[in-house]
Each structure stands twice: as structure tokens, then as C-alpha cells.
Structure 1
Amino acid sequence: MTTLKQGTLTKRSGTVPDTDLVEISGYHAYKNYSPKEKVNVNGNIYRVLEKHTDTANGLNAITFQSVETKEILIAYTGTDTKDKKDLLTDAQLLSDMVPEQVQAAQDYFDETEKKFGTVSYVCGNSLGGGNANAVGVANPHVKTVTLNPALLPDGVVDSNKEYKNITNYFGRYDVLTSTITGLFLGHRIPGEQVEINHGIPSFEYLSTNHTGYIGKNEAGQQMYVIGELGQPGYGAIYIDADAGVVSSIWTGQSLHSGSSERIDLNTDHLFDLSKSMESHVSSRMALVYAYLQNSADIVEHEGSRYYERLHTLQESFREMFEDAAQNPLFNGITSTGNIIKTEIYHLISLLDSAESKAQSLNYFLNSPPAELMEFVMNKDINVESLFADARNFLYNLRSSVEELTDFLPNLVNNKIPELFEGGTDRFTDAVVGEFMAHFKILAKNNVTVKEHMKSYGQDVSATAEHFKERDSLLAGGISTGIPPSLALPDISAPGDHTLLDSPYLKMGMKLLDIQLEMAILAFTDVTHKLLLPLLVGLESIAVLLEGVLEGISDAINGAVYVILNGSLPVKLAGMFTDFDDKIRAMVQDALEPIDELADTVEGVRKGLGNLIVFYPVLVQKFKPYLESALFSQTSYYNIHLYNSAATGILEEMDLLFKDIVFQMSHNKGLAIDALCDVSEKVKYNLVMMHEQVDRGTIG
């Protein structure tokens, strides 16, 4: 797993940036710091002045002072689910009453100002954000920054006021703020509302998506581990909420509402930009590279597992199909069908045996002393035509079973692989192939953007050095009276770093759903046209065969019954005392193979009936197996997570470069104009890269 250091933007001297206030709100406010303890926040040091806990109303807060600026800030702590006072306050915020804790937040603010001096900032997360906003509403001079805040009671916020001192940062995947805005209650969160990228779009991360932090590792980083150690795609997504807050390189202002205040670019400003390119921008783009590389590794791994995925799907279908029949005779029917084939040959031998025994029975009945019985009763057992019909049906059954056992292996071996085919270039492995082709282009573009950024940083540095040298030469020229020779810095041509277009993944990650639906439709069509008629035909033959076998049994039993129950003359009855026992034994012997044959055919018929009835259900149950075979669901989702994180950073870079272009566009000078053109090209490439990466997310 690659460990990357996240850079920080240049902080405007004399202010506490929003990034620090967001981190303090979601992370440090929850820590158990002691008074006078120093805390490092994005490289800036803050001293703890006081911890405040009020058990009467549940208010918790911590007061810091910036070591650099000496400014004081209060961070209100969010909901403690174990504190009934916090839970009560949360519930009361939904009403029009001002909860005791909200009033206590204002009281603590007043007490802090009396004790330590002017409070310049208040901040907080969740319930703490609601408390901070309440203080911000009552004190317009206090800058207020919140992260995923709770709403305020109805009536506290004046909809006619802008509350320019308040900024609320909403995490893209935060449930609380999503619910508030979804219920059209956003007007009860005062001030500006800004969506930032942080967190993971998954139910299991609800808590950390809300606070914006998960707990720092040894390197001081906030991250989610993705995948399993040693497996392709194993890595981390860094989720610090403050990293999603984009600020001006020069003014420290949040850029989510537009460009920062105009400045006159000078040598120091250019060096600030150069340093930012080397640190913050470089580190953020390194994360993009790492995320996309992890995604590409997952895709490559899925591609290498094609035959494994195909084989698993084929075996799943075989098992599901054979189990649906609920008859052991159907075991192996999707491969060789040897069991049911062998059984049909056995049924034919049973029919032969039954016919032979029926003939023996007839012979017995037509020979003395039975001849006399026939003469007296005029009875005979003639089932020859019925046996001929049964044999024909068995032959038809055998032929149809062979047709079925030829079709099913073909379906498994040839038709199931076709379910994978598709995509832009009619890939053998449609989903994986589409992703592979797209990520190959994306990888090249990633390198191009990386080189472009490096080249741009060099251009900025060269321009800064040029400005410095120019000032020095101008100063020397003034003192010597000799006009200096000034040359323009060497700025890269704006067309040097053109990205490749990608014709792939135009439907984004919906590709999997599209391929799945198309494959299921094709599979259903093939099986309904070819398989179901075979099954229905076989069932019909089995039904007819059952009827013929029943007719044979009835004919034998009926004829013998009449013979055995007929009235013989008294003087003849005594001559045949063992006749009943002999004929009953012969009848039982003749019917035994008929009964076995009938039971087996009944089982085959029921198995076929089960397949016919349950096949539509089987196809639907087969669908999730097919989806997993097209692309592992866990791996597919991990690609979405990585690409979502990458697009978030690219959106940050877009905001940042908009401001860079804005600041450069009004400054006079050929060097700045040239640098502005390059900045525009960088921004254009970032937008294009964002669109391509976004295709790898679940929209």
C-alpha cells in the first residue's frame, strides 16, 4: 500500500484558514486535550486554553489560541450518543424552541470573551456545528465555520439575511445534511452551504462520513483501507475533510463560492505558486495517480481471471439447472447426460423383460389345463400392440434425451461464454475489456498531466526567477545609469501536452448493468426458443408413455381378474387347486418391471415438469451469478471508490486553477500572459481528465 504525504496550501498570514477550522471541528474537538497542550493542525500550532463541559445541559467545547496569530477560537463538540442531554438537544432542534444547550453555547462564548479576550472564530461538527451557527447568527462579527452541522430551531434563522460570516461545509456523503436538504430544511442552516468531497459512499462509513475523520495513523493521515493486503488494488483513500476545502494559494480564501480577491502578482506570489505546485498540487495529483493505478490493477486482475470467472459461472448454471429438476437422474445432464441415457437403456430392457414375461403369462393361459379355462371363459391377454407403442415412446424419449444432452453442453460451453461478449470493440470479456481499454488511455493521460504539471511548475519557477532577476537588474541599472537587457523567460508551448480521447466507457459504470441486461435477454431468448421446446416435448412423451404403461398394467390385471374370478363347474374347480397361486405369481413377475419402468418415467416426467415450471425463476436466480462473473462486485465497487476519490481531487484542482487563471488574466506583462495561457491549458486538461475518470464511478 502506497503511503503518500498530503500537501497544504499556503496560509494567508494573520488568519486561521477554513481548512484548520474544519479539521478542528471534525477531529480535534473530539480529542481529550489538556489545557496548555499544543496541537498541530495542518502545520499550524494551536494552544489549548480551556476545556469546557457542562453536565447540566450537555454542552462540550474546547477553546484554542493560534500561536502565530494569537486569535482565539471556540470549537463546539458534536453529539455524544451516550449523553441524553445531547440527544434531547438534537430532538429539540427540530422544533421552534431554543434548546438549553444552544443558549449555553452563547453563554460560554460570552464567558470566554470576558476571560480570554475577543473570540475571532467559532466552529463545530454536527450538534457542535448547530451550536456554532447559533453563536454566529447572534454575533455577525465572528467568523463561523462548520462541518456537517445540525439545523437550528425554526425561527432562529432570518431568511432575509445572508450571514456572510458563516460557512457550512457539507460532505458529499453525509447523511445528516443530505437529509436536512432533502426535507427542504436547508434554510435553517444559516450562511453559505458548500459541498466538499470527502468520505466514502458506503453505509458502513456513515459515522466517519459525518465527522469527516476516522482517526490518524502513525503518519498523521486519515484514510480508509481498500481491499485486502496482498491483493491487487489494495490501498488507501485519504478522507481528511479539510483536504476537500479548496483555498486560494495567495489569500487563503475558500474558492467554493468563486474566485478570491484580486491581487497584483509579484515575485513572492509567483514563488508561492511554485511552492504550491511542488507540495500541495503535486501531492494531491500523486493521490489521483495512485487511485487510478489501484483501479487499473483491479481491472488487470479481473482480466487474468476470465477463465476462472467463466468456469465458475458455467458450474453455477450446471448446478442450478440440475438441482431444479429435483431428480438424481438429471445429475450430469448439462455435461454428458450419461446417467439419464443409461437409465433409458435400462428402461428399454425393462420393457423387453416385461413383454417377455407377459408372453409367458399368455402362453400359460393358453396351455392345458388353462386351455380348458380359456375354452370355458373365452378369455385371452393380448398386449402386444401396447408394448409396441411403449417401445416407440421409449425410443422417442431416448432420441429426445440425446438431443437435450447435446444441446445443454453446447449451451454451457458455447452460449454462456457469449454472455461475456460485447463492448465498444466487441470484446470477448466485455466489461473488463472496456475498462482495460479505457484505463490504458487514462494511464497515458495521467502521465501527460503529471508531466504537464511538472512543466508548468518549472514555468512558474522560471517566471518567478525572471521577475527576481529583473528587479535586480532594474535596481542595478538605476544605480549605474546603464539600461538592463531584459529577456522573457522560456515558457512551454501550450499545445505540448494534449490528452488522448477515449472512445470507451461512454456509459460509465452503467456498462455492467447494460451488459448484464443484454446478456440475460439473449440467454433467455436462446433458452426459450431452443431449450423449453425440448423440455416440453420430452414431458409430452413421458406423459404418453405413462398412459401406455398404465394400459399394459390394466390389461394384464383386468384379464387375469376375470379369469380368476370366473365361475367354474364344481366338478372342474377341484382339478385346478394350485392354478390361482401360479397365475398370481406370474402376473406379479410380469408387472414388476412395468411398475419400475412406470415409476422411473413418472420421475423423469416430474423432473421435466419442474424444469419447465421453475426455469424462469432459475434464470432470475442466475442473474446475480452472471453479474459477479462479468466483474467481481467487490472489485467493481472498489474501482468506483478509487475513481470517486480521484474525481474529487480533480474537482479541487479545477477550482484552484480557475483562481490561478483569474488572478493572472488581469495582470499586465507578456510573461504573465504566456503563463496564463499555460494555466488555461492545464485547467483544460484537468477538466478532460475529470470527465474520463468520472466514467469509472457509479453515477
Structure 2
Amino acid sequence: MINVKKNIEAPHHQVSDQDLVEISGYHAYMDYTEKQIVQVNGNNYRVKDIHEDTSNGLNAITFQSLETKEMLIAYTGTDTKDKKDIITDAQLLSDMVPDQVQAANDYFNKMEQKFGPVSYVCGNSLGGGNANAVGVANPHVKTVTLNPALLPEGVVDYDKEYTNITNYFGGYDVLTKVETGLFLGHRIPGKQIEINHGIPDFSYLATNHTGYIGKNETGEQIYMIGQPGQPGYGAIYIDADAGVVSSIWTGQSLHYGQTDRIDINTENMQQLADSLGGHVNDRMSLVKSYLSLSGDVVEHEGSRYYERLHTLQENFREMFEDAAGSPLFSGITRTGNIIKNEIYHLITLLDTAESKAQSLNYVLNSPPAELVEFVFQKDLNVDTLFGDARNYLFKVRSGVEELTDLIPHFVAKKFPEFFEGGTNHFSDAVVGEIMAHYEIVGKNNVTVKQHLKSYENRASLTAGAFAERDKLVAGGISTGVPPGLSVPIVGPIGDFSLQDSPYLKVGMKFLEVQLDIAFLAFTQFSHSRLLPLLGVLEGAAVVLESVLEGISAAIKGAVSFILNGSLPMKLAGMLTDFDEKIQALVNDALEPLDELANTVEGLRRGLGNLIVFYPTLLNNFKPYIETALFSKSNYYSVHLYNLAAMNILEEMDMLFKDIVHQLSGHKANAIDALHQVSAKVKENMAVLHEQVDRGTL
């Protein structure tokens, strides 16, 4: 059972939520030693105690802030190699309080006995659950968690608000998504705040959960995008604590709502100016960097237009020829010389077969075959059979020539049209649309930066005016002459209007729109031109194949009739070499016919394969069109950079909402002017945010 301490007045907390989040997700997992100094966001903390309990799996570190002298405990999250941690995670789903949760409270009490009051507890994952258990039992202790595990049923009193507990959920954290998705969020006590953090990539599940990817050689938490040496290669900063927005004056988290009003004085006005020139400028510089890198990716994609087009054409050629499954169709999407030459060869074979048949016919119309024909009244002339074959072969030739003209023309002339479109009918629609939008966003970003610089100067001058007023007040007191106490408005406000963008009105779904348009054009051509032609050509090949079989059967039948039709003829064969001569002529006539028939059969099968498999080819080709319109990996890089920039702009919106709140309702003209500028900056930030948001998926 967890004991709850009551009636303890909550102290004024000075360690920021940002520090507690970073300690939870990063430093709690590090192998520190006692007395080691750890720096967190420029603040220094000394390791006072390290706890590792192998009996229940509890790991924790106690720190002391060297700036505020306050004590805090960070509980370490799940160690997947520790069986006890896994068991504890499972027990949290039940109504049984795990040993590790009770041990977390015991450790807290021990540290208070050893070092005095502990002001904060924090943790991530299982460590977050342990911290929340301590926060529930100790309402005076500020508790901050990052992606915490839930508590067992019965630990949380659902009628209490637990105002001392704040839980930050990363936007891409799987654990908290599952917990809330299963309607178990009520077992996570206190406030639940989603922050902009994480990488929308399943392979970064662990990073999204802990909030940190690990520092590089320069001590930065970054995620690299692209390949070294390639345009757009760069980093986005993914520290979870960066998603926690705090007041520039009090350090209080702005996720809680409006902060307490500050005094409007020289110090606070100078702090505003310093923050605008420092933190705000740094964050907006990151926005500029992200947008610039994203622009580099798009520009590079544009430089690859002919490469993307050529690759798409080659992919179609390969898929089409493979679908036919016949060497006859090799090269048909380019010049079609192989199949055209083969058709001309078929005509030659037919001529040869006809000539051979005429030789056979001459023999069949001479004694003694003519005598058999007379006796049995049979017409054995095969000469007339070749007329139909020639007609259908010419139809096949005509169809093949049309096909070999149609496909290369379609690939060469129509494929570029797949890329065309967009607001200004760009030749490379997706690239052109994004680049045109980026040009406006880039200009607007510069305007916002100039606006912020002007605002910084105005705030600094206002702080100076306050200081001058204070001097006048002091001078008036010493001389007994009352000074004028008003603070004058300093400098013109200026015009920092942003330009509207007519581009990417549907956002990055523009690629889907362009893909649908291109695929529709491809499908319409296939069904209106290509497939009907393939059907006609296959029909002609089927008839030609049948006619050739008829010729072959007629020749074989006639000879068989003569050689086997009567005893007198058989007797004649015994007396002469007539039957051997006939058989040799038959073989000569059938040889080109057989080759002709086999080739036509291969042609017919290839055409049949194309007709049967073309719908599959059509569907399989769609992703190739999408990749050609804009590389998937590069498109995703654009999304990530814009998402990172948008997250910062959302931070700025919260920050300036607080600034507007703090400067509102004051009678002093100078402060009212600053309030108006703040509101205008916030408005411009919102416009820029909306435009950058169009560049995310």
C-alpha cells in the first residue's frame, strides 16, 4: 500500500520542465558516478546517489541542482534485458501494485531522510510510472514524466486532479498511443500534454519513446536526413525537451495555460529583448535552415527531371516487353525492328512455301497423279490456299507496324505529359509547384525575421526608456522636482505584411493529385488505343494461324490420298521412285510453312500475354509514376524538414501568445505599442506556419 503524505505546502519550483524531461529521457539512462557534474540545458546538476536494486529491478539517480540547490530523483525506464522490468510492466496492467513501484516510494523516502526535501521526481516509460506513483503519494512533489507507463488499477484516485503531476506525450510514442487508445489514460494521473517530438518512422520506435536518439560527437541530439555529399543532407534536432515551451520570463511551462502576470519594468522589457535576440532568433534560424535544406532537396529533384523521365520510360519498356514473354517483342517499345523484320521474314517464308507448293502442284497435276485425280474426281491443286494466308499476314504486318509506331511515340511524347500540371502548368508539376511555394515562403520567412529584429530593437529601446524614466524619478526625488513619468513610443512600427501563396493549396497531397491525373491519362491511352490494337492484332494472328494449319493439312492430305488412295498408284510407286519424289517435295513445302506457323504462334501467344497481363502491368506501373514525379525518399525528406520547421513555429505561437497576454491591458502607450507588435508578429507566425504546413504530409 502506498502511503500518501498530506498537508504539506507546495514549494516554489525553479527547475524547469525542459530539464526534467531531458533528465527523464536521457540522463536517467546514462552510466554516471556519484559526485559527477551533469549539464542539462546550460544548468548544472550533481549526482548525489545512484540506486540499482537487482531484487526488484528499480534503478534511479538522485541529482541536486547546483543553481537552485533543490533535490530531484530520476527513475530509469524499462530495461528490456531485465526480466524484473518486464514483469513489472505486465503487472502495471493489473490491480496489483508491483514491488518496483513500492520500492520507488521507499527510495524517495530514503533520499528525503538522507538529503532533505526532494522537490522533483521524474522518469520515462516504466520510470515515468514509478515517478507518478511517488507523485500520487506526495502531492507536494512536482512530478514530470515523458511517455510514462500507466499505474495499476486502484493507485489513482479518479476524483483528484493531481495538479503536481505533468505527463508529456511524444506525438509518435507508441506506448502512450496504445494506453490512450485502449481507454486506459485515466490510469496516468495529472495533466497529459502532447508535445511536438519524434520521427514518424517505425524504425525509430525506441527513440520516439525515450525522446532522445543519443548525442553525437558534438553533444547534439540530431537525426540526419539524406546522404552525405548530396543536396539536402542535414540534421534536425529532436530533443524531446525542445518541445516543452516555457515563458521567457518565469520559465513556467506554457502548456498549462496562461502564466501569472509579470511586472512591466526595465528588467522584464530587457529580458523580452534578450529572448527575442537569443532563443527566439535561434529557433527561427533553425526554421530558416530547415526550409533551406528542404528547398535544396526540391531543387536537386528538379535537376533530375530528365533522369526521372528516362527511368520511367525504361521501366515501362522493360515491363511491357517482359509481359509479352516472347523474344519477338524485344525492342518493340523503341523501334520494333526485331518484330518488323520477323514479319518481313514471314512474308518471305510464305513466298517460299508457295513456290515449293507450286512445284508440288506441278507434280500432282502430271501423270500418274493426274490419272488418280481423274479416276476419283479429286481436285488436288493447293495453289489457291495461299491467297487467304497472304491477306491475313498483310493484316498482321499492318497491325505490327501500327503497334511499333504507337508505343515508341507514346513513351517518347506522352510520358513527359505525365509530369505537366500545377498552378502555372509547370513542365515538372510537383517540383515546380513546391519551388514556387518555397520562393514565397522564403521571402515571408525573411520578413518574419526582419519583423522579429525590429521587435527586438523596439523592446530594447522600451527597456532603455524605462531605465531613463527610473533615472528621472530618482532625480526628481533628489531635487524635489516631479518628472514626467510616461514612457514614449519608440520608432515606427513598420509594415511587415506577408505574401499569400497560391501554390500547394492541397498541401503535399499535390503529388497524389498529379499521380491520379498522370495515371488516368496512362489508363485512358491503354484502354482506348493500345489494348484494342492488341486485340485486333491477336485476332488476325489467330486466323492466320488457322489458315496456315489448313494449308499444311491440305498438302498432307492430298499427298496421303495420292500415295495411299489406290492399288494402281501403289503399284506405280513400286515400279518407280514417284512416292519418294512426292514426299521430298512435300517436306520442302512444309518446312517454311512450319517455321511460319511456329513464328505466328509465338506472336499470337505474346499478344495474348500482353492482353492478359496488361491490367496487372497497369497497376504495378503506378508506383513507378509516383516515384518519377518525385523521389519517395526525397519527398519524405521534404516532409521531415517542413515538419521540424512547423513544430518550431507552433512553439513560437505558444510563446507569443504568452507575450501578447503579458503585454495586454496596460495603459502605457509604449507597452500598448509593443502589445500591438507582438500580436502582429504572432499573426505573421500563424501565416508562415500555415504555409510551411502545406509542405508536410
User: What TM-score comes out, normalization by structure 2 length?
Assistant: 0.96
CA deviation after TM superposition for structure 1 residue 381, in Å: 2.5
RMSD over aligned CA atoms reads: 1.6
Cα 1:71–1:54 shift into 2, 3 Å: same
Matches within 5 A, 1:229-628: 229-484=228-483, 488-489=487-488, 491=490, 493-494=492-493, 496-569=495-568, 572-573=571-572, 576-628=575-627
Counterpart of 1:381, as a letter, is L
Counterpart of 1:261, as a letter, is D
Secondary structure at 2:254 match in 1: coil
Distance 2:585 2:573 in 1: 21
Secondary structure at 2:123 match in 1: strand
CA deviation after TM superposition for structure 1 residue 645, in Å: 0.8
Cα 1:466–1:384 shift into 2, 3 Å: same
User: Which residue of structure 1 aligns with residue 29 of structure 2?
Assistant: 30
User: Which residue of structure 1 aligns with residue 94 of structure 2?
Assistant: 95
User: Which residue of structure 1 aligns with residue 223 of structure 2?
Assistant: 224
Residue pair 1:377, 1:566 contacting (<8 A) in 2 also: no
CA deviation after TM superposition for structure 1 residue 415, in Å: 1.5
Distance 1:471 1:657 in 2: 27
Residue pair 2:122, 2:128 contacting (<8 A) in 1 also: yes
User: Which residue of structure 1 aligns with residue 176 of structure 2?
Assistant: 177
Secondary structure at 1:336 match in 2: coil
Gaps of 5+ in 2: 1-10
User: Which residue of structure 1 aligns with residue 639 of structure 2?
Assistant: 640
Cα 1:551–1:123 shift into 2, 3 Å: same
Counterpart of 1:465, as a letter, is G
Secondary structure at 2:203 match in 1: helix
Task: Tell me the alpha carbon deviations over residues 308-328 of structure 1, each in whole angstroms, 9 at most, x when there is no partner.
Answer: 111110111111111110011
User: Which residue of structure 2 aligns with residue 7 of structure 1?
Assistant: none
Distance 1:339 1:268 in 2: 85
Distance 2:22 2:545 in 1: 79
Q: Does 1:79 align with 2:85?
A: no
Gaps of 5+ in 1: 1-11
CA deviation after TM superposition for structure 1 residue 386, in Å: 2.2
Distance 2:584 2:493 in 1: 104
CA deviation after TM superposition for structure 1 residue 276, in Å: 1.1
Counterpart of 2:283, as a letter, is R
Secondary structure at 2:169 match in 1: strand
Residue pair 1:348, 1:394 contacting (<8 A) in 2 also: yes
User: Which residue of structure 1 aligns with residue 197 of structure 2?
Assistant: 198
Task: Tell me the alpha carbon deviations over residues 557-596 of structure 1, each in whole angstroms, 9 at most, x when there is no partner.
Answer: 1111111102233995366441221111110110111111
Residue pair 1:377, 1:563 contacting (<8 A) in 2 also: no
Counterpart of 1:303, as a letter, is G
Counterpart of 2:323, as a letter, is A
Distance 1:345 1:167 in 2: 82
CA deviation after TM superposition for structure 1 residue 646, in Å: 0.7
Task: Tell me the alpha carbon deviations over residues 499-528 of structure 1, each in whole angstroms, 9 at most, x when there is no partner.
Answer: 111111111111111211221122101210
Distance 2:266 2:350 in 1: 104
Task: Tell me the alpha carbon deviations over residues 99-119 of structure 1, each in whole angstroms, 9 at most, x when there is no partner.
Answer: 110010011111111111111
User: Which residue of structure 1 aligns with residue 123 of structure 2?
Assistant: 124
User: Which residue of structure 2 aligns with residue 168 of structure 1?
Assistant: 167
User: What TM-score comes out, normalization by structure 1 length?
Assistant: 0.96
User: Which residue of structure 1 aligns with residue 6 of structure 2?
Assistant: none
Distance 2:269 2:575 in 1: 126
Between stretches 426-435 and 472-481, larger displacement belongs to 472-481
Distance 2:185 2:663 in 1: 36
Residue pair 1:124, 1:131 contacting (<8 A) in 2 also: yes
Cα 1:571–1:658 shift into 2, 3 Å: closer
Distance 1:270 1:393 in 2: 93
Between stretches 130-139 and 361-370, larger displacement belongs to 361-370
Cα 1:276–1:565 shift into 2, 3 Å: same
Secondary structure at 1:206 match in 2: helix
Secondary structure at 1:95 match in 2: coil
Secondary structure at 1:569 match in 2: helix
Cα 1:268–1:424 shift into 2, 3 Å: same
Residue pair 1:264, 1:667 contacting (<8 A) in 2 also: no
Residue pair 2:141, 2:164 contacting (<8 A) in 1 also: yes
Residue pair 2:562, 2:569 contacting (<8 A) in 1 also: no
Distance 1:319 1:529 in 2: 22
Residue pair 1:20, 1:41 contacting (<8 A) in 2 also: yes
CA deviation after TM superposition for structure 1 residue 662, in Å: 0.2
CA deviation after TM superposition for structure 1 residue 279, in Å: 1.4
CA deviation after TM superposition for structure 1 residue 488, in Å: 5.0
Task: Tell me the alpha carbon deviations over residues 465-508 of structure 1, each in whole angstroms, 9 at most, x when there is no partner.
Answer: 11111111221133224454678555455551111111111111
Between stretches 304-313 and 363-372, larger displacement belongs to 363-372
Task: Tell me the alpha carbon deviations over residues 408-447 of structure 1, each in whole angstroms, 9 at most, x when there is no partner.
Answer: 1121012111111121222211111110111110110111
Residue pair 1:137, 1:190 contacting (<8 A) in 2 also: yes
Query: How many pairs are equivalent?
Result: 687
Cα 1:214–1:664 shift into 2, 3 Å: same
User: Which residue of structure 1 aligns with residue 105 of structure 2?
Assistant: 106
Between stretches 367-376 and 622-631, larger displacement belongs to 367-376
Distance 2:248 2:180 in 1: 31
Task: Tell me the alpha carbon deviations over residues 339-365 of structure 1, each in whole angstroms, 9 at most, x when there is no partner.
Answer: 111111100110111111111001012
